[in-house]
Amino acid sequence: MFVVIEGIEGSGKSTLLSGLAQWLRGRGQEPLLTFEPGGTPAGRAIREVFLNRSIAIGPLTEAFLVNAARAQHVAAEIRPALEAKRIVLCDRFTDSTLAYQGYGRGVDLGVLRTLCDTATGGLTPDLVFVVDVPVTVALSRIRTRAEAPDRIEAESTDFHERVRRGFLELARTPHHSVLDGTLAPEALLEEAIRELRGHASARAR
Ligand code: Z5A
């Protein structure tokens, strides 16, 4: 089963992903925990360029970079794990490209869908959690960090609002589940586990 967690930065995705992984391990599973852009040595190298504000790149280049990392990630990590019947928990996937480079940067959504489909070879998640929080809440969480803001973090509040709207529009499908990211971490995890269980039993029927 391929599960993706999406949302604006600071929404609590990584915290939720760790909680889900721990819960699955407690049930004897060995999930693959992974993230984008990254997930492979090539992906991590691409991520350095992607997030580094001192290297000038345009929106289309951003889209190509994340999809170059994704092609390697899907081929080398995600597909083999799924073929081995492992649950894959991935922090961000193609919706992030549509939300950030599409809704945020203005790259044509049709072009982005073609790029993403090419990179994934048509692989789509079974379930996408969208952890939704107001931009002000998310930004206040990440502004406590010591590191300088990266290329995306440095963007305006308007940009992050467009990205949030994008995630919510993209979530109007049966394989998406929007979670309230203002809940306490434990309550958010409970919600996600409930959804995951419901989804897994629907798949088993
Ligand atoms: N990007 C893109 O543009 N296009 C693409 O196709 C892809 C990505 C795949 C990667 O950033 C950037 O790449 C990302 C989009 C872009 N940039 N942005 N913005 P990243 O990997 O460095 O980081 P991130 O994925 O955006 O998220 P993050 O910084 O790791 O945040 P998070 O995972 O959403 O949240 P967290 O780390 O779990 O929690 C953040 C803080 O909130 C932390 O202090 C927690 O203790 C706290 N927290 C967590 N949960 C809660 C709850 N429930 N309540 C209260 N406080 C909480």
What residues make up the domain containing 124?
2-204
Domain CATH for 96: 3.40.50.300
- The residue among 205, 176, 204 whose CA lies nearest residue 192 is 176
The residue whose CA has the least distance to atom 44 of ligand 1 is 141
Whether 99 has a pLDDT exceeding 80, the answer reads: yes
pLDDT computed for residue 200 by the predictor: 82
Residue 7 near ligand 1, beta carbon < 6 Å: yes
> Which pair of tokens denotes residue 107?
């790259």
pLDDT computed for residue 204 by the predictor: 79
Please compute the mean of the pLDDT values over residues 11-24 and round it to a whole number. 98
176 — pLDDT class (breaks 50, 70, 90): very high
Whether 131 has a pLDDT exceeding 90, the answer reads: yes
The number of distinct structural domains making up the chain is 1
pLDDT computed for residue 144 by the predictor: 81
34, 44, 141, 143: residue to mutate for ligand 1 pocket, most atoms within 8 A of CB: 141
The residue whose CA has the least distance to atom 35 of ligand 1 is 12
Work out the mean pLDDT of the chain and round it to a whole number.
96
72, 94, 96, 109: residue to mutate for ligand 1 pocket, most atoms within 8 A of CB: 96
Contact by Cβ (8 Å): 152, 59: no
Q: Which residues contact 4 (CB under 8 A, 6 or more apart)?
A: 90, 92, 93, 95, 125, 127, 128, 129
